[in-house]
A = this chain, B = another copy of it.
Amino acid sequence: MLIDVQNERDDREVPLQKVGIKDLRYPIHVLDRDNRIQHTTGTVNLFVNLPHHFKGTHMSRFIEVFHQHRERLSMPHFLDMLEEIRVSLDAARAFGELSFPFFIEKRAPVSGQSSMLALDCAFEGMVSDKTCEGGCRRFYVSVAVPVQTVCPCSKAISEYGAHNQRGIVRVKLQLGPFFWIEDLVSLIEGCASSAVFSLLKRDDEKYVTEAAYDNPKFVEDLVRDVILAIPRLGSFPWYSVEAENFESIHNHSAFAYAEGGTL
């Protein structure tokens, strides 16, 4: 029998909020509105709290549980996986963060041609052994959606043209109601000067150029319009929206951030 150093008593009296594993890369399955299941690749962080009297946690158990659940990491099951980790490690709380590219098949606006667009998504959750008001089981979904933005100031002050650029809108939602990532993406794209596409033919490029010029947006506009649109998707207790423009006239970004919610 090998000794269990982690299980020894610790006398420093310092409890740890989080102990666990970080940056584990794994093949995973998530839910997909059109194909039921999407195979993708994730990076996961898994933690529990550690009471002050234990010397260490048992890192291998995080992997054992996650390995079992890797093919059903939908929003509803993610917290069940965390709960299993919490119980397995005899902890009061467990936390998890899972980030992954999510792919959506999109059709070009005029030609209708199909291509895939990658979106950086993340799940984040917390479970606790307490039965308490509004805080013991929390789950968040984040999506980062690339868009095009035309600058309203540049358009207004210039005789012709207007600087525009790729931007990214990052939305984080606390659940709340179930929703499809695909629907959140459409809602965000609808707030930008234009959506972006992996594949555009010449007819599509003309359409996107003109539509975007007709619809200029600051990062401030983007955040405000998304904040106002989110309630159409469901009634979320809390959400945040940030927009970042990779400015075409600068080598830095323009940025805006706001929070909303129904609580």
Contacts and interface: CB of A to CB of B under 8 A. Distances in A.
A113 interface: yes
A3 B157 contact: yes
A50 B3 contact: no
A224 B17 contact: no
A129 interface: no
Contacts of A6: 153, 218
A136 interface: no
A153 B205 CA distance: 9
Among A113, A198, A209, the one with the most B-chain Cβ atoms within 10 Å of its Cβ is A209
A10 to B, nearest CB: 7
A14 interface: yes
A165 interface: yes
B162 A165 contact: no
Contacts of A256: 16, 18-19, 50
A238 interface: no
A170 to B, nearest CB: 12
Nearest to A57: B220
Interface in A231-263: 244, 246-260
A24 B198 contact: yes
A111 to B, nearest CB: 9
B252 A21 contact: yes
Interface residues of A, number: 103
Nearest to A166: B248
Given A25-B118, A256-B16, A249 B208 contact: yes
Interface in A2-22: 2-6, 10, 12, 14-22
Given A12-B228, A21-B252, A41-B41, A67 B3 contact: no
A57 B50 CA distance: 44
Contacts of A39: 27, 39-40
A206 interface: yes
Contacts of A27: 38-40, 103, 116
Interface of A: 2-6, 10, 12, 14-27, 38-41, 45, 47, 50, 55-57, 59-60, 63-64, 67, 70, 101, 103, 113-118, 146, 148, 150, 152-154, 156-166, 194, 196-203, 205-206, 208-210, 212-213, 218-221, 223-225, 227-228, 244, 246-260
